[in-house]
Each structure stands twice: as structure tokens, then as C-alpha cells.
Structure 1
């Protein structure tokens, strides 16, 4: 059976890429106190960072991150600032 593509690459990107504009990051990726409590229960900085990224991606755009996926630097910096980590900890 033939495989049909419903969305164009641009449409797929608009739906599933992590937002990088400040307004969208503030709206979707600001971590609440409950979030921070759960994230801080992780042992190492890279585990805390990875957990926070997965949590944010599940909330918006509603998918899990794939292995090897490149995270936009804007998102990395935004979450690192909230977690008290460096971008390199990822």
C-alpha cells in the first residue's frame, strides 16, 4: 500500500517544532514550583535538563523528543536559566 503524506514539510514543522520565540517560550515553557520540585529530584544536571526538556515538549507541541534531535539554543538557554544550570549541562 502506498504511503501518503498529508502535511507538507513546512506544515509539519509549524506543528511539531519547539517554539523559539520569547512569547511562546514564556507561555509554554515557564516551569511551575511543582515542576521544579520533580525536576530537582533527578540526580545529575544532564538528567534534570533532559527531564525538563521532555516535560516541556510533551506539554507543547505534545510529543516526546527523539534521540539525536537538535534542541534550539533559545530553548536550551531559557530552561537552563530556570534550572540554575549552564547550557553545556545538556
Structure 2
């Protein structure tokens, strides 16, 4: 089921970790509270498994103080549509 569900207005700032394997995206999303979100993108090397990539992300979350209860597992558009339906 394709199609456009909505539009997201965001500003993204990109940081790379020292080893360059993980990208840290800081997104400011208009229309959502809170407005700042952090997305971690681990680029797997050929010899790494998905589980190893998840462990890298988990370790980084712990180092910067992001608790698992604060993880969001959906797209910004889902959050925005839910937020707007509550108004």
C-alpha cells in the first residue's frame, strides 16, 4: 500500500564517530514535542553481523545517556500523524 502519508519538515545535523562507522543524526522535527531526536546509523563492515551493529548502537546509547525506554521504533510521520490526531 503505497502513497504519500504526509510531509516532514526537519533540520538534520550529522556527526561521525571517531572510527567513522557510526553516524549520529540530530534531527529537529517541526510539529513534534520534543522537537529534537537522535538517530544512530551503524554502517556494518563486511565481516559484521546485524547483532554486532546493534551492540555498537547500544553501547553508544549507554555512553551518551539514552535509555532504551526512550527509543522510538517508528517513523517521524507516524509520530506526527499520531500527535495531530490527539489535538
TM-score by length of 1: 0.29
TM-score by length of 2: 0.29
Q: Which has the higher strand share?
A: 2
